[in-house]
Amino acid sequence: MTPAPIKIAIYDMDKTITRRATYNGFLLHMLMRRAPWRLILLPLLLLALPLFMLRIWDRRQLKQFSQALFVGGRVDLQSLRHHVDSYADKVMDSNIYPEARARLAQEKRAGYRHVIATASYRLYAEAIAQRLGFDDVIATDLVTDDTGYIHARIDGDNCYGAAKLLRVKEWMAAQGLERQYCHLRAYSDHISDAPLLEFADEAFAANPHKPLRQLAEQRGWTILDWR
């Protein structure tokens, strides 16, 4: 007898589960709680943004630079814990779609294993995921040294686009989950997650921007709009 498939639902985080992107909010929260003096460095970020817009810098470089400016280039991880938790509580209070919470609860009752797969930093994504009842987190990691300090450097790939799908496959392999024995749902708001949505058995364009909505209509993917 063929065993029942293992049911897994993989969610992007920013603008899929959350109303607004979380990275800039995280930087601002850290800046205001830890070192408000760093506001004087804001002009440096305004100078850096054109480098990203002109594609001289990629997302990885911009994220590392902004983190160094507003959080610090090398910071004791334990000193951030309280601030990370307070930021996660803030996200839960005002930045989560109620419809996403309801869908998670419905899937949990149906036996789904929930995974967040996000380009956001694991540093705070795990705290948000824990509060939402997720089972696993796939996210962008930061370099952490053996003294417990995190650096403003991404460890490995920025978990975005095709790299996110690769990370999902690596996670499945590490968990001993064979694709043919799994039923995958994937949710995202952004066209960058098209590789992951194509990989899934059920693809959901959640709160999609225009390019993803158009692709979803072409592919016959379910469109959910909680805005």
Indicate yes or no: pTM above 0.85.
yes
Determine the pLDDT at residue 72: 95
- How many structural domains are present in the chain? 1
Give 20-66 pLDDT, tens digit per residue.
999 999 999 999 999 999 999 999 999 999 999 999 999 999 999 99
Amino acid at 177: L
Give 66-105 pLDDT, tens digit per residue.
999 999 999 999 999 999 999 999 999 999 999 999 999 9
Q: Is residue 78 a part of any domain in this protein?
A: yes
Q: Is residue 156 a part of any domain in this protein?
A: yes
| pLDDT of 2 higher than 90 | no
Question: In sequence order, what DSSP letters do the residues of 186-203 get, joined into one string?
Answer: EEESSGGGHHHHHHSSEE
Residue 204 lies in domain: 6-224
Q: Where residue 173 sits, what CATH number does that domain have?
A: 3.40.50.1000
Mean pLDDT of the chain: 96
Q: Is residue 1 a part of any domain in this protein?
A: no
**Rounded alpha-carbon distances, angstroms, from residue 150 to 63, 74, 76, 138:** 14, 6, 6, 18
Q: Is residue 26 a part of any domain in this protein?
A: yes
Distance separating alpha carbons of residues 200 and 180, to the nearest angstrom: 11
Helices marked H in 17-97: 23-34, 42-53, 59-70, 77-94
Distance separating alpha carbons of residues 15 and 202, to the nearest angstrom: 19
Query: What string of H, E and C letters represents the secondary structure of 121-139?
Result: EHHHHHHHHHHHCCCEEEE
| pLDDT of 1 higher than 70 | no
Determine the pLDDT at residue 168: 98
Determine the pLDDT at residue 3: 80
